Chain A
């Protein structure tokens, strides 16, 4: 049986999360098909067809899928499910939104946020904010999982030559409608796929200090900017920058935590980073337990010095 991968995209560009998900799907064994559901999304289907390891791309282009509303997308995926043993989506807010809905429509259980494929029916996933790893086995006829993208390498974006099949079975469930959106603008790399992340916490004291101390360092390193929940709740930065159990999960080569104490919930979002640097004036801060390099210093002195010396 084949495996269906749901593509993450914005109707113009295939998101990198899809490439990580294709790698996870490949490890389950079987032909990998990618579903591109969107509006005016043909360029995305063409990009998906070039991804190494993909044998077929199904493109459903309809206004019903423009904003990927879960009510509509889940009906489409359920209808396609008959041909597949596995349905796999990235554990993005989008994947987490519609996949459980598909599972319930098919009356099967599902598995969230897998970090490792042990075999076609057995997966490892984090529980308790990443403080424990559960090996979960499913005996459902259809295996539905979402994939923690930072736990899998990205499949090569070039090299494949899959056929594109256009389908015309769009469905509007009529249970929801799009009203508006407010997307944060940023020229920096995307947080979840950045090689380097510089994060600030409550100790930054205000939003201006993020601009003054964190941004120059991030720009020098070509890094994405993250934040702790405390910094987001205090309104220093928007919530899509939050790293942690309830925010984004990142695993960059280098994670610099400035003025972040390191609560369990924050560590859950970054402790798989290759190298962790903490800059904190409190040597007892829990972040010290995961940091490879701990600089005990006032961040208002250390960050400008670090920026100028790099």
Chain B
């Protein structure tokens, strides 16, 4: 069976973001960009399914600027077979991304579609669910375990009170949570080989998708700063401050 994995180019999770002075957004110039960590887990899971003989081919897709091909190449170096870059300079909102991914999934006839549970830039946590809805198929969100058995998949999900397992007929959409797996590092020979793997370039129009959204970001501001705290020298002083100064005990 074929697997489709969606990856997003985002600011590296270790970078401390700065809001632009004109409040138009976050300053991304000269910042390190990477594959969104949850997407990396999705790629890893697809590669493991391939190693287990469940999946024959892994297609990795990204929707974004030309530079997003770096993230596709990184996924190819981890074991994906070929890439599709849907190039756009417009801001990609989840609904539009889901529509494009639906186009790819239907064109390629993929049985299992893996996404991260959320991107660490917009923190939306929407795209996988929207894709499953548009395709009219089941969804296994926040997955911490994935077991393919014949023509269905059992997904264990991280929910507020613990874990829940659901069974979904294939094709299905799975979004990955942190504990699904530990992504591997790309080895140098695989990075070299990844440069020769096929990478198709497309546009949103190829899938009949208009990137315009009825949602707009009016402004972006830094969060309120907390006033500087104090150091306390002993447990007694801490208890005294909590009781008499902060009055929370």
Contacts and interface: CB of A to CB of B under 8 A. Distances in A.
B218 A131 contact: no
Interface in A110-124: 110-113, 122
Contacts of A205: none
B139 A128 contact: no
A172 to B, nearest CB: 12
A113 B235 CA distance: 37
Contacts of B178: 229, 233, 246
Contact of B220 (A134, A176, A245, A292): A134
Interface residues of A, number: 89
A126 B180 CA distance: 25
A239 interface: yes
A306 B238 contact: yes
Contact of A103 (B126, B165, B226): B126
Interface string B98-139: 100000000000000000011011111111111111101111
B241 A293 contact: yes
B242 A109 contact: no
A128 B120 contact: yes
B123 A108 contact: no
B65 interface: no
Interface residues of B, number: 79
A138 B129 contact: no
Given A132-B221, A254-B249, A179 B165 contact: yes
Nearest to B117: A246
Contacts of A196: 248
A182 interface: yes
A176 B168 contact: yes
Q: Across chains A and B, which 9 residue pairs bring their CB atoms closest together, nearest first? A: A100-B129, A104-B133, A100-B126, A104-B130, A175-B138, A179-B165, A183-B162, A101-B133, A176-B138
Interface of B: 11, 13-14, 16-17, 19, 26, 93-95, 98, 117-118, 120-134, 136-142, 144, 154, 157-169, 177-179, 213-223, 226, 229-232, 234-236, 238-239, 241-242, 246, 248-249
Interface of A: 67, 69-71, 74, 92-94, 96-105, 107-113, 122, 125-140, 175-184, 192, 196, 221, 229, 232-233, 238-240, 245-246, 248, 253-254, 264-265, 271, 274-277, 283, 288-297, 302, 305-306, 309-310
18 contacts: A92-B160, A97-B142, A100-B126, A109-B95, A126-B123, A133-B221, A134-B219, A138-B214, A175-B136, A178-B165, A246-B177, A246-B178, A274-B246, A288-B229, A291-B229, A294-B229, A309-B236, A310-B239
